Amino acid sequence: MNAPALRVLSVIPPMTQLNTPYPSTAYITGFLRSRGVDAVQVDLALALVLQLFTPAGLQAVQLRALAQPEAERTASVHAFLDQFQRYQHTIGPVMAFLQGRDSTLAHRIAARELLPEGPRFAALEVYVDAALGEEGGDPLAWAFGALGVQDKARHLATLYLNDLADVLRDAVDERFAFVRYAESLASSQPSFDPMAAALAAAPTLIDELLHTLTLATLARHTPDVVLLSVPFPGALYAALRIAQSIKAQNPHIAIALGGGFVNTELRELAEPRLFDFVDYVTLDAGERPLLALLEYLGRKRSKQRLVRTFVREDNEVRYINFVEPDVPFEDVGTPTWDGLPLDRYLSLLDMLNPMHRLWSDGRWNKLTVAHGCYWKKCSFCDVSLDYISRYETASAGTLADRIEAIVGETGQTGFHFVDEAAPPKALKALAQELLRRQLPISWWGNIRFEKTFTPELCQLLADSGCIAMSGGLEVASDRLLTLMKKGVSVEQVARVTKGFADAGILVHAYLMYGFPTQTVQDTVDALEYVRQLFENGCIQSGFFHRFACTVHSPVGLDPAAYGIELIPLPEVTFAKNDIGFIDPTGVDHDALGIGLRKAIYNYMHGIGLDEDVRVWFSHLPGKVPKATVGRHRIAKALNQPA
């Protein structure tokens, strides 16, 4: 007797990004369909936001806000209640505008008479300061010029939504944020206790909406198997709420949990209570474990032959790994966005910086050029894990075929290559193939700023549609770049980024502070380099991350080699990732981080580039030394041959 065909539903749980679907379900649905599986997908993160931000949704929020004692209401909640009628009348049109379905509303929004304004609009005053003290007039005119009505309106509408997100956080559920929900319950959480308690608590308004959405999804798709894809810790709580609703409705539906968070943090899972919600937890690239799981559920393979899968047996967690080769990157199929409401995503404009906005504005098809990282040496990176260490490529022809198929399906020609570090060789071959096929796409991606990216290659990439590149400069210090095995020098990064910029490609630099042995002087010197990179037009955007030591990175695996001592973790049965450490330098990186963030924010708006970098550390009087880097070091490096 043949086993019945199984219908598989992949779910993106709240919260992830709102401008474009997180790609994991698109990848897995495309792959499963290529193997003849009946596979569908749903984005419950977007669906939840679209439910909340309606007149009825806001009314439910208002009820919660009114139930709060007046003395406990925050400024956001007061502003919301005071202007509630205006919020209710404008929410529908604003959402349609942000979805790109009603662009003419821009004029009314930009005039600043239509939308109610809460505390988030105070950020606009920053631009008054930014415009070097010019008082009066329209501060946004400085930022957008006379022609940017659409962008100005998009920015104002984003502030309006951010105000509403603050109200949700302050009046409905303190764990709510647009891109993460209840993150602390999962992130490096050694015990499942806090998560179990939260899941046993009475549902919040958000939980109730999610429950209703989950039941509607089950009714629509009638799945036999549900895959919960959890890319970040801030999506696990909602994923388990969804699982709770599914199990209550139909306990026969098999639920599997996977995704980036699981692959990184649940590798030593020993918590049987997680299996009150899900039946299987799979590690690393999902294709092979899922094929094995579907065969098992279809009674075509025994349980002992599951691949990289945790199950619960006799109230204990058991890891089963019948070793089979992973599906090669060349054979994973083409992602599909079929079933996702592509015209309902929200193009938000948080930051006025043209590069920074790419992350929140516009619907980008997400694709990878390769699996893993070809470099896999950086000492802060999870180089021991599959998503970095297993490096595989596909031919330029295969990638171009995927691109053509995706454009055909979605009608959208924008691509974000979401590799950790796309290999230059593959990018070059792909660019040549795109030009040969005359495929007019726009694309951006993440790379290492290595010297293979010559000005000629940068120009070729630009000709093929590359509009922006991001990459890690980390700490701009040759001593620390060597210690972290980044394989680049500051001057080399300057030349490479300038090559991109000269080809018309925007450049974003990932910056780091707090790396082991980093001194205050290192931090000031690194900021001086960053200032010069902006000043010389090498980079247009950047972000400072605080270094976090993870158990999977070379630093976490061999702390003595980096001069630090790890703080022992408590017993871990659940999530394990970040680990505290003692750095004998004893630098107060938190205090320095405030100045670094202030500096980068201003540099991205073209402000303060002439100032001594110490100006950003005015909160640390007398504690920050002068930079030892010459003020024209980068300019000189750019004039030298590579």
Q: Note the residues at the interface with ligand SF4 (CB under 6 A).
A: 373, 375-378, 381, 383, 388, 420-421, 448, 472
Smallest distance, ligand SF4 to C-beta of residue 475, A: 13
- Tell me the DSSP string of 495-544: HHHHHHHHTT-EEEEEEEE--TT--HHHHHHHHHHHHHHHHTTS-SEEEE
Q: How far apart are CA 177 and CA 238, in angstroms?
A: 12
Contact 7, 221 (CB under 8 A): yes
As a dihedral over the C-alpha atoms of residue 348, residue 349, residue 354, residue 358, rounded to 10 degrees, the angle is -20
Minimum CB distance to ligand SF4, residue 561 (Å)? 16
CB neighbour burial string for 365-374, b if at least 16 within 10 angstroms, e if fewer: bbbbbbbbbb
Write down how long the chain is: 642
Which CB atom, from 383 or from 458, has the smaller least distance to ligand SF4? 383
Identity of the residue, 168 or 539, whose beta carbon is nearer to ligand SF4 in the bound complex: 539
In terms of CB distance, is 383 or 509 closer to ligand SF4? 383
| Of residues 429 and 484, the one with the C-beta less far from ligand SF4 | 484
Give the residue with the Cβ less far from ligand SF4, 261 or 345. Answer: 261
Work out how close the CB of 469 gets to ligand SF4 at its nearest, in angstroms, rounded to a whole number. 13
Cβ closest to ligand SF4, residue 39 vs residue 555: 555
| Residue closer to ligand SF4 (CB basis): 388 or 629 | 388
d(C-alpha 574, C-alpha 563), whole Å: 29
Q: Considering the complex, what minimum distance in angstroms separates the CB of residue 46 from ligand SF4?
A: 28
At 254, list the tokens: 């098999």
Q: How far apart are CA 604 and CA 530, in angstroms?
A: 11
Q: Do residues 80 and 118 lie in contact, with contact meaning Cβ atoms separated by under 8 Å?
A: yes
Please report how close the Cβ of residue 387 comes to ligand SF4 at its closest, in angstroms.
9
In whole angstroms, the minimum distance from the beta carbon of 472 to ligand SF4 comes to: 6
CB of 91 to ligand SF4, least distance (A): 40
Instruction: Please tell me the number of Cα atoms within 13 Å of 110 on its side-chain side.
Output: 20
In angstroms, give the least distance from the CB of 417 to ligand SF4. 13
Rounded CA-CA distance 493/482 in Å is 13
Sequential DSSP letters for 320-336:
E----PPPPGGGS----
Query: In angstroms, what is the minimal distance from the CB of 381 to ligand SF4?
Result: 3
Which of residues 472 and 559 has its CB atom nearest to ligand SF4 in the complex? 472
Q: Show Cβ contacts of residue 156 under 8 Å, excluding neighbours closer than 6 positions.
A: 109, 110, 112, 115, 121, 140
Cα–Cα nearest to 387, from 308, 295, 333, 481: 308
Task: Report the DSSP beta bridge partners of residue 142.
Answer: none
Q: Which is nearer to ligand SF4, 170 or 420 (CB)?
A: 420
| Shortest reach from residue 393's CB to ligand SF4, in Å | 14
Rounded Cα distance between 231 and 13, Å, is 9
Q: How many CA atoms lie within 13 A of 29 on its CB side?
A: 25
Look at residues 12, 28, 11 and name the one whose alpha carbon lies nearest to residue 226: 11
Shortest approach of ligand SF4 to residue 102 CB, angstroms?
40
* Sign (positive or negative) of CA dihedral 256, 259, 262, 267: positive
Shortest distance, CB of residue 388 to ligand SF4, whole angstroms? 5
For residue 186, the minimal CB distance to ligand SF4 (Å) is 23
Residue 40's φ and ψ, nearest 5 degrees, are -135, 170
Q: Which is nearer to ligand SF4, 269 or 383 (CB)?
A: 383
Q: Is the peptide bond before 15 cis (omega within 30 degrees of 0)?
A: yes
Tokens 């094929």 identify what position? 291
Question: Closer to ligand SF4 at the Cβ: 180 or 552?
Answer: 552
Which one, 267 or 273, has the nearer CB to ligand SF4? 267
The number of helix segments (H) and strand segments (E) in the chain equals 24, 17
Shortest distance in whole angstroms from residue 555 CB to ligand SF4: 12
506-513: strand order across its sheet? 365-367, 414-417, 442-447, 466-474, 506-513, 541-546
52, 57, 63, 66 alpha-carbon torsion, rounded to 10°:
60
Taking the complex as a whole, the smallest distance from the CB of residue 508 to ligand SF4 amounts, in Å, to 14
CB of 368 to ligand SF4, least distance (A): 12
* CA torsion through residues 23, 28, 31, 33, sign: negative
Task: Output 163 or 420, the one with its CB closest to ligand SF4.
Answer: 420
Half-sphere exposure of 433 (CA within 13 A, CB side): 17
What are the backbone angles phi and psi of residue 414, rounded to the nearest 5°?
-95, 130
Nearer to ligand SF4, 58 or 381 (CB): 381
- Quick one: 448 or 498, whose CB is closer to ligand SF4? 448
Residue nearer to ligand SF4 on the CB measure, 13 or 472:
472
| Residue 552 C-alpha from the chain's centroid | 20
| Rounded-to-integer distance, Cα 184 and Cα 534, Å | 35
Structure tokens, 611: 């100032």
